[in-house]
Amino acid sequence: MVTYPIEGACQCGGVTYQLLAEPQMVLACHCKECQKLSTSAFSLTAVVRTQDIVFQGEMREWLRKAESGNTNGARFCPGCGNRIYHFNPDQPDTIKLKPANLSDTRIIQPQAHVWVSEKQDWFTIPEGVKSFDKQP
């Protein structure tokens, strides 16, 4: 059983945080942008209520437009460059945590795979896990 809070930190330790409660959902995104971000087949995201996480340390911000027209923001450590989370400025109550830097990673079990229209051919989505061609 996972107990909260769970500690998290970037590679250099310049940004630390505490996740206070279970994520609303964990997703694996296979879009080309997430493949670039992760330098792998997909990127993991834990959808978290803003009130359920506390950050310490300086972060920098980068913004881009998503296919939907929404702004996709990212916050990252200026020291090591680790991406900490994504956000939509129009949805301030939710962030998209990059959970691989948690001290306890048992919560990283994707409940859905998104943007499978861009996934790597060699990766097989596990049976019984929801998948969507784009963003649901």
- Kindly state the average pLDDT of the residues 118-136: 91
| Arithmetic mean of pLDDT over the chain | 92
* Euclidean distance between CA atoms 5 and 135, whole angstroms: 29
User: Considering the chain, what percentage of its residues have pLDDT values greater than 70?
Assistant: 100
**Residues 81-111: tens digit of each pLDDT:** 999 999 999 999 999 999 999 999 988 899 9
Q: Judging by beta carbons within 10 Å of its beta carbon (0-12, 13-18, 19+), is residue 69 exposed, middle or buried?
A: exposed
**Considering the entire predicted model, what is its pTM?**
0.86
Which tokens sit at 95? Answer: 């962030």
Domains, in order of start, for the chain = 7-120 (2.170.150.70)
**Residues 47-76: tens digit of each pLDDT:** 999 999 999 999 999 988 877 787 889 999
Residue found by looking up tokens 């090591």 in the block? 80
Q: Judging by beta carbons within 10 Å of its beta carbon (0-12, 13-18, 19+), is residue 122 exposed, middle or buried?
A: exposed
pLDDT at 116 over 90: yes
CA 95 to mean position of chain CA atoms: 8
Residue found by looking up tokens 């200026």 in the block? 78
List the one residue out of 122, 99, 131, 101 whose CA is nearest residue 26. Answer: 99
